[in-house]
Amino acid sequence: MMHVLFVLGVLQTAAVHADFSGEVVGVLEGDLIEVRHRQQAERIRLNGIDCPEKGQPFGTGAKQAVIALVFGKKVTLKIHGLDKYGRTIADVILPEGTNVSRQLVKDGWCWWYRKYAPHDSILETLEREAKNAKMGLWADAAPIPPWDFRRNRRGQAPEWIEMDSAPVEVMP
């Protein structure tokens, strides 16, 4: 009996994480959409990217870019798992084959999220090219990554500050 329950659990987990296609019925943020799946809207976190937050420069532009790319279209999702909030993480592929995350990075609407896609050399290259061309948010002299924006909003130090580094001694 235990073997049957284990097998059912494995099959259920596999079904939850199986690739699927559906219509995009909502765009909540630049990196968060809703796709109709089994007659319900399922929240999908775009894999490998982090877009500016609401209230952050370029946040509205990133959301509008995603609306233009995906809203009302049938997309295919290549599932990577769930994030800490229980949302599905996926590569979102348009009918003609465009990877939405890659397109957004290429157009300068978001950052390559190194923390969660550290070995994605395609996103790395696309970000570097967008930055060099000053596309989208890279037109800003000093764009603030969303992970630092969120930390600052919570009153925490940005990630680029090394909290465990030795203090610098100033000589009079």
> Model confidence over 60-71: pLDDT tens digits?
999 999 999 999
The 10s digit of each residue's pLDDT in 91-112 is 999 999 999 999 999 999 999 9
- Tokens found for residue 122: 């395609």
Q: Domains in the chain and their CATH numbers?
A: 17-153 (2.40.50.90)
**Catalytic site positions:** 45, 53, 87
Residue 56 Cα distances to 16, 21, 59, 145, angstroms: 33, 31, 5, 10
Rg of the chain taking only CA atoms, in angstroms? 19
**pTM of the predicted protein model:** 0.81
User: Residue 154's pLDDT is what?
Assistant: 79
Cα angle value 28/16/47 (rounded, 5°)? 45
Q: How far is CA 111 from CA 5, 10, 63, 160, in A?
A: 42, 34, 14, 15
